[in-house]
A and B are shown apart, each in its own frame.
Chain A
Amino acid sequence: MSSETGHHHDPLDPGHLFGHVQDAHHFELPHAIADEGKLHILQPFEPFIDEVLVKADPDFHMAPFDLLVSKFMVLEVVAAIVLIFFFIGLARKISDGTPARGKWANMLESMLVFIRDEVARPAIGREDADRFMPFLWTMFFFVLICNLIGLVPWAGSATGALGTTFTLAMMTFGMVLTAGIRKMGLIGFWKSLVPHMDLPFVLAIFLLPMIFVIEVAGLLIKHLVLAVRLLANMVAGHLVLAVLLAFILKYADSYAFFGVAPVAVAGASALTLLELLVAFLQAYIFTFLSALFIGTAIHPH
């Protein structure tokens, strides 16, 4: 069995397990379909690098860029296309004020209204929330679709890479900064980070700068944690699934296979259902915290 699947190394090797979860420059496919189980992604920039840049300078080094299209980039574009397809379709149906008709339209609309009424408006406030709805809706559904694509066999979740989650968190950070600065002015926003305290002048000279530094660090950490939380949840779930399924390969050559395989498949199925919950939950948490941070920025106290 193992000879068929082509695994000649330890299936429980961490490097191998992570390889299934992390970004790559190829899609993992069954060996019957793709050569060596890998479908390499077409690299549009490769000829340019090889023919132009490296030829001109053999020592050419572009780090940290490699100009390679990765699996997650492709899946992000897929998520974006799905998103655009769904919601422009929904917009056509309900933009004239008529009620949504059909299962899809109603499902999408109820999610949109949930994000608006239960997440954005309580966190940001009734009158300000509507300005941020495009951002929050896009964020929720982009994260959600990326998470859900991770449950499709042979695909992967783009939210399982720091490059993605960090950038999304920075989008929120940018939104928080612009919203706060637009509301209170450049200086007003930074001043609002420091809570107002009645301190004697001498103490204030020492304490207020320290509090300011701590608050700014806290602001950054808040957004980094936003990125790491999503990343960790997606990676951990997929990693557990990978480990469970790797047990099957590990015992493929022994009689233990007949005991391990059903348990592993059952466990992986159950965990996939859990992942489905996590996909929605993490998208919700990311959006909820983004709304909360924006709300805090424009209503500091």
Chain B
Amino acid sequence: MDAHEGIADAAIRLVQELKHNPNIIPPYDATLMRQCIDTLNRLYDQNARSLMDPTGDPSISPEQITTQREQRTAAIIYIWRCTTAYIHERACRIRSLRWRFGGILPISIRNNLSEAEIEFFNSYSSALADFQSSLGESGVNLMANTEPPKHLFVQVRVKEDYGEFETNDGNVVILNKNSLHSLPRQDCEMLIRRGILEIANP
């Protein structure tokens, strides 16, 4: 190991990675994570060994050994906190993705997640769906009307070609780029979130 490199550098880099990209989910950094885990294991082994064998190195006084052990424990706790913060923050962002994109993730975002994270996303989605359907008689869509609407209809401008779109009452609308539509708010809210529609000036 490089002399100038601190023992917790990899862990700090993990946290920084998220901090520097506040609005997106960067790719899951498996190499750094692996490094952190390796460091944790190494430190733990060293601590364990020094406890097992109290008279290991005669050149070092027992007080020094105790201090070393405490230092290592502090480092273990520090790295552990960094890695959990990394995982927790990513989990929070993944949860917010569910509200932004609905149950299906765009492929570009999906590629950035680890397998465990995708599993977490799916279980979160199904938990949310279970919860929504358990409310009331026919379920409540918590995604709809996150702000109190003033009108049932909203005027939207199409930003990219989408093609056919069927509203709840069975009307089919073609959403072609650069056209202006007046649609029921609840139907098109999801498309607005995905950036296909944009609310035109009222």
Whether both chains belong to one complex is answered with: no
